[in-house]
Structure 1
Amino acid sequence: MAPTDEPSDDIHTIDFFRDDGAVADPYPYFDSLRTRCPVLREPHHDVVMVTGYDEMAEVAQDSKTFSACVSVTGPFPGFPVPLEGDDVSGLIERHRDELPMSDQLPTLDPPVHTAHRALRMRLITPKRLKQNEEAVGEIADRMLDTFLARGEGEFISEFAGPFTLLVIADLLGVPEEDREEFLDRLQRRPRAGGGIGSTGEGAMAHSPLEFLYGRFADYIEDRRRQPRGDVLTGLATARFPDGSLPDVADAVRVAANVFSAGQETTVRLLSSAFMLIAEHPDIQERLRAERGLVPNFVEEVLRTESPLKGDFRLSRIPTTVGGVDIPAGTTLMLLNGAANRDPRKFEDPATFDPARPNARHHLAFGRGIHTCPGAPAGAVEHGGAAALGEPPGERGESGGGGQERRRIGRVSQLLQDEGELQRGRLKPAELQTGLPLPVLWLGAHLGDRLTHRAPQRPLLLVELELHARPPPSRRTSGNTRKTRMPLS
């Protein structure tokens, strides 16, 4: 059957891409779409909205039928030429470089995507993740000391944003002396103009990746001239699977993608989780009593408040999704936040349940070859849960070594799975997903500060005045609030 073209009144009147109401709370709109049909064409921009869990997974896993060339921008500005005929693959290849962000990993298709993703995985090794995990504790403790001392603060700009940036800077080996400049250029300066994917009329003042391209080009060229045995030297000398040395520009794109991919999504996740435990003392107390629930709590936050609303695909040939006919050249939007609340997959999906048995089955970070680059960090879940159960300074002294060995083993397995995917011996659907790099590592340290009660230490109540902007999916007016956060 064809995509339903007869919308109900609410679907007809709400423009998801431009209406502020859909930004503040998109879930009634998602439910309305899904109730009609989980694969439904919206009337304003001719985009087929995929709100069903199985339907989204089907499209995300089929990179042969669906191109990711428009994944970042969708209908804004749209494809540069008319897409006509029963196979638009040739048009995609001839014109993809005219699309915004066409050099970035999320917009690439195989075989180029396969080579670039494999290059990225050569940067994320068990050894590097272990080193980064150690640095996360130091960064989190240092920033928490400063943030909590004043008793009030703007969580996103003063903690979550800088914290995430510094963690990824450490992962990629950005020199200590340069990190303050990264903070200044990428966090502190106001961003002028619209952004990539903006539906507003204003154009971008400059590429948001311009600074990263320039700095990482300098780093890579310097390390190729004078190798130093550091992380950036590994980045500069990493090779494609066929043994060829990438152009500097290719290595720069991979580094810039790793640096930028986890920034906004991780900040949204941290802000959602922080506001939830601040505003729901019953959930906070349950996490205090059952610290082993913290990893599943984070998964449930990802399910209920997906950091990404969705991304786009372009059908190369006529096909069907969930029994709905999709012509060649159709733009589809894969709505992570809607799929994660599909009642066919999640019982009572609007209810937040930190112990939900299948919370980890969410699609917050996609599925298939474009699964979130932070997936291997899902291995730290065990480490985060273990650390939450031990007083500060005693981690690893009561079986911690075994936990750590299992954690590193889990990282190794995920990296091995990634390699099997690149060699065609593992289906995209079988690739395991996980959390973005900083999240659960931070969880262990926030756990010490927010959920651990050492018996020799009295409970301390600190009143934090939160001026944090809620995540885009829950933005409302009057967001300044005071919340009593018990700390220990």
Structure 2
Amino acid sequence: MDAAEALALLMSPQGRIDPYPTYERLRRYGPVAQAGPVFYVVTGYAEVDEILRDSRFGVMDDALRDQFLPGWRDSPAVASISRSMLRTNPPDHSRMRRLAAGAFTPRRIAAMRDVVEAQADELVDAMLERARDGEPVDFLAEFAYPLPVGVICALLGVPAADRPLFRRWAADLTGVLEPEITTEELAVADRGATELRDYFAALVRARRAAPADDLTTALVQVHDADGDRLSGEELLANLVVLLVAGFETTTNLLGNGLVVLLEHPRAADALREHPDFAPGYVDELLRYDSPVQLTTRINEAPVSCGGVELPAGSWALLLLGAANRDPRRYPEPQRFDPWRPPVHPLSFGAGPHYCLGAGLARLEAQVAFPLLLRRLPGLALAGRPRHRTRLTLRGYETLPVIIDTESAAAHRGTPAGAAPGTP
């Protein structure tokens, strides 16, 4: 099997569900391997990090889309993503990113901890209520989705009653981020993009008529004051991306991470007793099973990387999930080890496109995992959960869990790190 055949295996349904064995096959061909004419697969941590930070590499621009995706403007999904900061290069990317960055500063994120803790507590209460009859509870539907969607919707000013709408719309739209997509899947993505765009067009009109203290209002006012700083298309595209990116990856982080913790009970016990370990745990969970597995870059000039010459116009498929398990960077990379030295996973990217909401996602996970383990000490998987057949955004379709309501009642109100009954 050569690199091209291994890549084909990765794109198959089974390869998408469990990509890690195929990553190891690809790694045999070096950290940068040619898999086709001007097409390269990058599995090495140092090489992925280097490309993400190198200004000679960028995302696909309109000219390349016209060349490789003729008719892309007729696709609401492709057009919407392409007008956002996610799929633009400097200077447009830098201009749009600066407009939203103020809502995601470390200081503002730290100030949200109490709100995140309160929301997480309420969701655990609701899970316990649903578990009273002893039936399994879907962790994704009851916790991993509503926590991050509630946080990002509060930032954007989306009414709480509308939040259940977004899970299906986002799931439909994000199909367009996959490295391969069928005509039928693109039609589904277009439907999700249209529904999201229509929703935010209505919200923009509402905020224009009645401004509020939220990010949507702030961006509307920037557009209305100077359309050159943020066009109408860019306004709607970035609101959609901020919403979807604000919960989709975090939902997968919470779901993937919970499964790992429940499969490693000793590590889970340590986090239950020492919630201050959470930052290291979350980074290791991000490394071990990244919610974002890949991204792509195209170079505008010849580049040498990993001992391989990439001619101008080469496509580089950056396998973040493989880089996070690079044995040159991490000893025993297949082992979950929350006590590793600082790991700096590439799950949120690096360089100019480093995820704007990475700090918020980390905060939500750092709050959620110790809280879940403390309040639900008998939490267990209800069978083996099933992954979605997605590669770019890796997560589960559903995640049924069993909750021991009696042990949970004994721990209700117990301070972190204390045993039940501790004064």
How would you bin the TM-score normalised by the shorter chain? Answer: 0.7 to 0.9
2-structure distance, mates of 1:348, 1:39: 21
**8 A Cα contact 1:220 1:232, kept in partner:** yes
1:31 is matched with which residue: 24, 27, 36?
24
Report how far residue 323 of structure 1 moved.
2.1
Provide the residue aligned with 2:218 in structure 1: 234
1:317 is matched with which residue: 296, 301, 306?
301
Q: Which runs of 5+ in 2 are unaligned?
A: 412-423
**8 A Cα contact 1:220 1:235, kept in partner:** no
1:57 is matched with which residue: 25, 49, 71?
49
- Assess, with a 3 A threshold, how the Cα gap between structure 1 residues 233 and 476 changes in structure 2: closer, same or farther: closer
Q: Deviations over 1:28-85 (max 9, x none)?
A: 2212222221111225x9631010111111111113x2221279xxxxxx85427xxx
**8 A Cα contact 1:153 1:466, kept in partner:** no
The answer as to 2:172 corresponding to 1:180 is: no
1-structure distance, mates of 2:215, 2:396: 42
The one-letter code of the counterpart of 2:364 is W
User: Kindly, what percent of the aligned residue pairs are identical?
Assistant: 30
Provide the residue aligned with 1:388 in structure 2: none
Provide the residue aligned with 1:440 in structure 2: 363
Q: Deviations over 1:343-369 (max 9, x none)?
A: 11111111111110032x211111100
Provide the residue aligned with 2:67 in structure 1: 81
Q: Deviations over 1:168-192 (max 9, x none)?
A: 10121223xxx32331x22257967
Say which SS state the counterpart of residue 36 (structure 1) adopts: coil
**8 A Cα contact 1:115 1:241, kept in partner:** no
Q: How does 1:363-402 map to 2 (within 5 A)?
A: 363-375=346-358, 377=359
1:216 is matched with which residue: 177, 189, 200?
200
* CA root-mean-square deviation: 3.7
1:137 is matched with which residue: 117, 126, 138?
117
Provide the residue aligned with 2:373 in structure 1: 450
**8 A Cα contact 1:312 1:332, kept in partner:** yes
Provide the residue aligned with 1:204 in structure 2: 187
The answer as to 2:13 corresponding to 1:20 is: yes
Provide the residue aligned with 2:329 in structure 1: 345
Provide the residue aligned with 1:112 in structure 2: 92
Q: Deviations over 1:206-234 (max 9, x none)?
A: 24333332333333344344434555433
Provide the residue aligned with 1:268 in structure 2: 252
2-structure distance, mates of 1:106, 1:250: 11
Say which SS state the counterpart of residue 332 (structure 1) adopts: strand
Q: Which has the higher helix share?
A: 2
Q: Which runs of 5+ in 1 are unaligned?
A: 1-7, 72-77, 83-91, 378-436, 453-458
The one-letter code of the counterpart of 1:112 is D
Normalised by the length of structure 2, the TM-score is 0.79
Q: How does 1:234-313 map to 2 (within 5 A)?
A: 234-238=218-222, 246-313=230-297
1:170 is matched with which residue: 135, 139, 154?
154
- Assess, with a 3 A threshold, how the Cα gap between structure 1 residues 251 and 133 changes in structure 2: closer, same or farther: farther
Report how far residue 318 of structure 1 moved.
2.2
- Assess, with a 3 A threshold, how the Cα gap between structure 1 residues 55 and 70 changes in structure 2: closer, same or farther: farther
Count of aligned residue pairs for this structure pair: 392
**8 A Cα contact 1:104 1:257, kept in partner:** yes
Moved more, 104-113 or 17-26: 17-26
1-structure distance, mates of 2:295, 2:51: 11
